[in-house]
Structure 1
Amino acid sequence: MRARRHPGAPGTPDAAADPMAGKTRFDDIYDLPDPRSYFRRLAPYEYEIPHHAQGVFRRTLAARRASTPPAPDGGDGFTVLDLCCSYGINAALLNHDLTLADLYAHYAGEDTAELTTSELVDVDKEFYAARRRPDAVRLVGVDTAANATAYALAVGLLDEAYAENLERVPPSHGLARAMSGVGLITVTGGIGYVTHRTFDALLDCVRLPPWVSAFVLRTVPYDRIADSLTARGLVTGCDPARTYPQRLFTSPDEQRDAVERVRALGLDPTGLEAAGRYHTRLYESRPRPVRPV
């Protein structure tokens, strides 16, 4: 598959303004009625970041729960918001006894290949219900892809879904209301497509900011988002020595673009992008510790 190039590639005037300019776009699979084409298309490129995020998000969720006073009904009293949630993949892995390999087998295998979308929705309701973890958390999804979020809602992966572009418009009344219960924001694939504007829009809806756990491509600067979170009282940490692979490059052009971009950010691509894959860093943002009086 050949990478699609478009304005903003390195060497053009808006390269710095669009850190995703040289990255292959898979727009045709992001907003379909169900996720089968998504998994089939990405399988050859070994798309894997949700696998790495699964354990991280579960540990972060456990820490967040431990820091939260019990609700009157005995629950933990908060919600996870998955930003750029797509078909609910992070929700599937967080709240169910499943692996990313299980999802590839389910959606790219023969058992579901001939089903209509309606039939697949019925199958998936049972598929996920049978694998639901007893510690499952309430989960809200936000993405611009209306079909993808509708699928995730229909099969029970999301409790609420909002197809909204927060880069351009403020949150709807429903999303603003949902934010009041959010204790953790997760994101694996959206930073660069969404910026500080999206985080500002979400955090404008809350009095106390939620924790944030974000996997960010090394080709994309995170400073402006971290600054916005700092202004809200969150401290952002990152282990610069630890990276998490995202996927193989689709072409030499895409790889060259990534290598140029990480070098421009002062990073070394040796053994990482130079070896043939996108890599991410994990940024964790939590409230600034309260100093004793």
Structure 2
Amino acid sequence: MCCSYGINAALLNHDVTLAELYERYASAPIVAMDTAELIEADREWYAARRRADAVPVIGLDVAANAIAYARAVGLLDAGFAENLEVASPSPELLAAARPVGLITVTGGASFLSPRSFRPFLTDAPAPVWVAAFVLRTGSYRAIADGLTAHGLVTERFGAHTFPQRRFTSEREQRYAVEAVLAAAEDPEGRESAGWFHAALHLSRPEDHTTTFPLTTLLPDGPRERI
């Protein structure tokens, strides 16, 4: 969800790092390309780095151009430009998402409600996990409560956070610091240092939380239920 140009798919299924992606797309030859040239260059670049254990990825975003690009270069196996907050999913999206076992959203949870998740969890043929990196400026409570209705237990990866992006202005930073403080979180060394930070929330069936404890999946920190 909120997949944009498919960066998560790029990192998941290819032998590339985020630093390498930053370097690539900021380089002068890439910046000088038009869209058609970049699609061809990216198609070859990612194909040469495709992992042998790559998994199918379906992208969902309201940005049609981003979805089209990710599909054209081979990052997404299928992509849909739909807004499930205002309309029901298309039959094509529902059919493509039927086998999905993991739903991810990184930074876009503030634009979503339980409504966007509901179609993929109702009558799912197998248990579905939801992994969300949620900006600390907002609350995940409404979505977590909505997932509970589908038998999913939500755990937060302790107090550990992940840098999302730098602030674009002092005003944006002030907003973020104030929002984090209002949520009874500590911005010191995170938002106060110039970055939006996100917390990982993982939602799964109750029995999966004991079979696959969060502390073994991510051993560097504690967990807490929300």
TM-score (norm 1): 0.68
Distance 1:101 1:161 in 2: 25
Q: Is 1:226 matched with 2:159?
A: no
Q: Secondary structure at the match of 2:89?
A: coil
Per the TM alignment, residue 207 of structure 1 is displaced from its structure 2 partner at its CA by: 4.2
**1: distance between equivalents of 2:142 and 2:18?**
31
Distance (whole Å) between structure 1 residues aligned to residue 18 and residue 36 of structure 2 = 23
Q: Tell me, which stretches of 5 or more residues in structure 2 are unaligned?
A: 211-226
Contact 1:88 1:141 in 2 (8 A): yes
Write the mapping of 1:79-118 to structure 2, written as runs, cut at 5 A.
Answer: 83-118=1-36
Out of 128, 134, 147, the position equivalent to 2:46 is 128
- In 1, the alpha carbon distance for the partners of 2:107 and 2:124 equals 24
Partner of 1:167, secondary structure, is coil
CA distance in structure 2 between the partners assigned to 1:135 and 1:214 by the alignment: 23
How far has the Cα of 1:220 moved from its partner? Answer: 1.0
Q: 1:275, CA displacement in angstroms?
A: 2.5
8 A Cα contact 1:107 1:113, kept in partner: yes
State the partner residue of 1:74. Answer: none
User: Structure 1, residues 145-168: CA drift from partner, whole Å, max 9, x if none?
Assistant: 000000000110000000000100
For the structure 1 residues 225 and 250, does the alpha-carbon distance in structure 2 shift closer, same or farther, using more than 3 Å as the test? same
TM-score, normalization by structure 2: 0.87
Tell me the equivalent position of 1:249: 167
Pairwise CA distance, 1:279: 0.9
* Inter-partner Cα distance in structure 2 for 1:275 and 1:107: 25
Corresponding residue number in structure 1 for 2:221: none
For 1:236, which of 154, 157, 168 is the aligned residue? 154
Partner SS, residue 192 of structure 1: helix
Once the 2 structures are TM-superposed, how far is the Cα of residue 209 of structure 1 from its aligned partner? Answer: 4.3
Q: Which of residues 251, 261, 272 in structure 1 aligns to 2:179?
A: 261
Q: Secondary structure at the match of 1:289?
A: helix
Q: Choose which of 56, 71, 89 in structure 2 pairs with 1:153.
A: 71
1:203 CA displacement = 2.3
Call closer, same or farther: CA 1:114–1:251 in 2, change over 3 Å. Answer: closer
Q: How many residues are matched?
A: 209
Render the CA deviation track for 1:249-279: whole Å, top value 9, x for unaligned.
Answer: 2222111111111122121222221222111
Match of 1:177 in 2: 95
The one-letter amino acid of 2:4's match is S
Secondary structure at the counterpart of residue 260 of structure 1: helix
Task: Give the counterpart letter for 2:45 in structure 1.
Answer: F
8 Å contact 1:85–1:143 — kept in the other structure?
A: yes
Give the one of 113, 117, 122 matched to 1:199.
Answer: 117
Question: CA RMSD for the aligned pairs?
Answer: 1.6
Give the Cα separation in 2 of the matches to 1:150 and 1:118.
Answer: 12
Q: Secondary structure, in 3 states, of the residue corresponding to 2:53? A: coil
Q: Distance in 1 between matches of 2:189 and 2:24?
A: 32
